[in-house]
Amino acid sequence: MKYFVLFLIAILVGWLYYRKTVPALITKERILLTFLRTLSVFLILVYLFNPILYYIKNVTRSSEVVFLRDISNSMELLEESKAKSKHYVPLENTLRNRYTALGYQVTEYNFATGLSGSKERTDLTLTMNELTKQNKLEEVSEIVLISDGWFHDKSFDAVRLSGKRVNPIIPSITNSSADTYISRVEFNENAYRNESTPFVVHCHSEQFNGDATVKMFYLDKLIQAKDISFKDEKVQNIEFSYAFKNTGLKKINFEVTPKNLQEIIQSNNTVVTVSNVREEKETVLIITDAMTWETMYVMDALKNNTRLQTQVLQAKNSSLYSGKKLLREDLNSINYSLLVLINSDRLRLNSRNTGIIIDNLSKGKGLLLIGMPVQGLDSVAPLVKSNISRVFTNTFSYGTKMSEYRSFDFIKSGIDNIPPVDYQYLSSKPNVEVLSSFINNESSPAIALKKSGRGQFLHLGMLNLWKWQLWDNGDGYRKFIVSICNWLSNSTEDRIAFYSDQPGYLQGERVTLTLKAFDEKMELITDLQPNLILKNSKSKEVLSEYFELSEGNYMLKLDELSPDKYTANVSDTQNNIESSLEFIVGEKGLEDANIGLKKENLQYLASLTSGTVVTASSIDGFDISQAKENHSKLNIEIPLYRKHLILILFLLVFALELLIRRRKGLI
């Protein structure tokens, strides 16, 4: 109706314009020019008032069924002397003819890694997401799935959420895909030195009824091996145990090897785990020059810690006493993990014991000094005395370097509740981290750290810090003391575990990289932003991506890597974390190992979507209802302003009219 009104207006304009002309025109010329002017005005009015053409179309559609055909490389593997895909053709043709005869519209799509991706993987989730995004499943009532079932999906939620019934075709192929694998290993990630740590290995078999051996490797050496049989049970839970003799991060490999079977897939036979081994119960040795409040509050802070046990000695004239009993042996007689020295400036140790302290420090035993420097330890001490011996009272600051050590988070949160402390002016030595300074004109060092060998020497150059406990409503002081003792009792061993789930992969197989990072107290760090830089054998960067935190581990899963040798570098500059590893992606594709059918996946998909598995024996009884005709009205919009032909028509009409007017001498 709108266009009719616009056309009448255009006719009126054309007629008025050429009703009388100078000079006068003959009838044919007037009609032609009126027509051209009417057409050009009409096109202008359409562009101005109604540039989009709307109309409703009645549409009748039959029910639609989609044949979704897997064209990944595994479908071309030979099974019983012909390609696996050929086994599906008779069943596929029969179903297609039956659906067509009942009035269904049959639409076919090929897929592998999506609708148009690589044939090296079979990703059904990606395919369903693409079909849904492209609105190709709106009128579909059900899907006939033509696949061997070797999918690489984490889950089939996308298939379930589509709401479409999936009917997988399973041809008569003798399944030859015998396989054994380890699904997971249960263990306590925190183990203790010299204590037996249990590991439970979950082993599975598919199409295999024979014997196998499960092995445990540590430091690339075989530790234990156990024989199992899959004759009666397809799932075996095998228990191992091992007592680690050293502390730190320990990587343990488990491997299942079937007997009298050459497996096509061997990448799932190995699982890598990492355990954090700690001391069974570490001893904190406290040596003080007097049983002051400083000493009493440190002892009180440590007494309820289940991992630390304390032993207290008092120094008198370079001798050590346990209560009133003289310690006749030197410090080698005490196996401590951390030594706490509390010195109000009267602590004296003989040269034998100071030498033992220095030697133990280099071996990884921590040292915490509260108060004044101790004579004989100057060679490893972070702070030494200056020429000023007077005692001052002041507060100290939360230094920027403290943020690198999580043990000082308690100072950061409680800095306003820490009262002034007593101190002397001390001087820092080279290669020392000054973590905090006193608030005075010279900003003299208050807390300093020095690393010596595998051990660490932390000096709290102050006295009466214990008053913090009295000023604070909470347990800031106790938590701080326990935190730094837990930290210093751990040696500076590697606190990063970066590993792949296996050293080599098939082409198209998912690569899983795992990062575990521990702080100075050997507690998992869960607020990192580790970045991966992946380079190929030519040192060319092929990927840069961040890890994701999952159950305390940082994990990254890589798909569709080309065959090559790769170097993976992970780093977090803010937390000073860096590590690397290498792995190989082989020429042989993952799909090449997918022999036979993964029937359990196909059966699960049918069950998940209320579909039906179609086999040669069941196809005759496969029920297909008569297709229904769906009547609908389709609103169609045609944006005329995008049609270049209309614009060209207007220009031609306008130019033709102008040409005729000039030839006739019209004003």
pLDDT tens figures, 178-204: 788 888 888 877 788 888 889 999 998
Cα distances from 175 to residues 80, 84, 541, 594, 600, in angstroms, run 10, 11, 41, 11, 12
- Is residue 522 very low, low, confident or very high in pLDDT (cuts 50, 70, 90)? low
Q: Model confidence over 243-296: pLDDT tens digits?
A: 988 877 788 889 999 988 767 667 678 888 888 787 667 789 999 999 999 999
What is d(CA 368, CA 11) in angstroms, rounded to the nearest whole number?
Answer: 101
Contact 568, 534 (CB under 8 A): yes
* Mean pLDDT along residues 99-128: 90
Distance of CA 293 to the CA centre of its chain: 49
Judged by DSSP in three states, 43 sits in helix
Q: Model confidence over 220-241: pLDDT tens digits?
A: 899 999 999 998 888 899 999 9
C-beta contacts of 45-51 below 8 A and 24+ residues apart: 45/6, 45/9, 45/10, 46/3, 46/6, 46/640, 46/646, 47/640, 47/641, 49/2, 49/6, 50/2, 50/3, 50/6, 51/639, 51/640, 51/641
What is d(CA 244, CA 524) in angstroms, rounded to the nearest whole number?
Answer: 20
Give me the pLDDT at residue 472, please: 76
Distance linking the first and last C-alpha atoms of the chain: 35
Per DSSP, the residues of 226-252 read EEEE-SS-SEEEEEEEEE-SS-EEEEE
Nearest-5° Cα angle at 654, 652 to 657: 105
Give me the pLDDT at residue 226, please: 94
What is d(CA 182, CA 196) in angstroms, rounded to the nearest whole number?
Answer: 22
Nearest-5° Cα angle at 592, 214 to 76: 140
- The structure tokens 């998992």 sit at 524
312 pLDDT higher than 90: yes
User: Which residue type is seen at 492?
Assistant: T
Give me the pLDDT at residue 293, please: 93
568 pLDDT higher than 80: yes
Burial 114-153 (b: 16+ CB within 10 A, else e): beebbbbbbbbbbbbebbeeeeebeebbbbbbbbbbbbbb
User: Which residue type is seen at 90?
Assistant: P
What is d(CA 131, CA 134) in angstroms, rounded to the nearest whole number?
Answer: 5
Q: Which two tokens stand for residue 48?
A: 């101005």
Q: Which of 377, 530, 558, 386 is nearest to 458 (CA)?
A: 377
What is d(CA 349, CA 288) in angstroms, rounded to the nearest whole number?
Answer: 10
Q: Model confidence over 407-434: pLDDT tens digits?
A: 788 788 778 788 999 999 999 998 899 9
547 pLDDT higher than 70: yes
The DSSP secondary-structure symbol of 593 reads G
Contact 264, 179 (CB under 8 A): yes
- Is residue 66 very low, low, confident or very high in pLDDT (cuts 50, 70, 90)? very high
Q: Model confidence over 289-306: pLDDT tens digits?
A: 999 999 999 999 888 777
What is d(CA 604, CA 598) in angstroms, rounded to the nearest whole number?
Answer: 10
Residue 194 exposure: Cα atoms within 13 Å on the Cβ side: 4
Lowest mean pLDDT across 9-13, 237-241, 357-361, 535-539: 9-13
Which pTM does this prediction carry?
0.48
Q: Which two tokens stand for residue 116?
A: 């148009």
Give me the pLDDT at residue 374, please: 93
Burial of 4 (0-12, 13-18, 19+ CB in 10 A): exposed
**pLDDT mean across residues, the chain:** 86
The residue length of the chain stands at 667
Q: Model confidence over 331-378: pLDDT tens digits?
A: 988 888 899 999 998 999 999 999 999 999 888 889 999 999 999 999
Q: Which of 219, 278, 229 is nearest to 253 (CA)?
A: 219
What is d(CA 389, CA 544) in angstroms, rounded to the nearest whole number?
Answer: 56
494 pLDDT higher than 60: no
Give me the pLDDT at residue 174, please: 67
Q: Which of 484, 459, 487, 481 is nearest to 469 (CA)?
A: 481
Burial of 550 (0-12, 13-18, 19+ CB in 10 A): exposed
Q: Model confidence over 571-622: pLDDT tens digits?
A: 887 777 788 888 888 776 667 767 778 888 899 999 999 999 999 899 988 9
- Is residue 173 very low, low, confident or very high in pLDDT (cuts 50, 70, 90)? confident
Distance of CA 339 to the CA centre of its chain: 40
* Mean pLDDT along residues 478-501: 78
175 pLDDT higher than 70: no
| Residues 6 or more apart in contact with residue 659 via CB below 8 angstroms | none
Contact 438, 446 (CB under 8 A): yes
Pairing of strands 564-572, 531-535: antiparallel
Lowest mean pLDDT across 144-148, 325-329, 402-406, 527-531: 402-406
Give me the pLDDT at residue 264, please: 65
Q: Which two tokens stand for residue 190?
A: 């925190």
59 pLDDT higher than 70: no
Q: Which two tokens stand for residue 527?
A: 């607020």
177 pLDDT higher than 70: no
Q: Which two tokens stand for residue 667?
A: 């004003």
Burial 518-539 (b: 16+ CB within 10 A, else e): bbbbbbebeebebebebbbeee
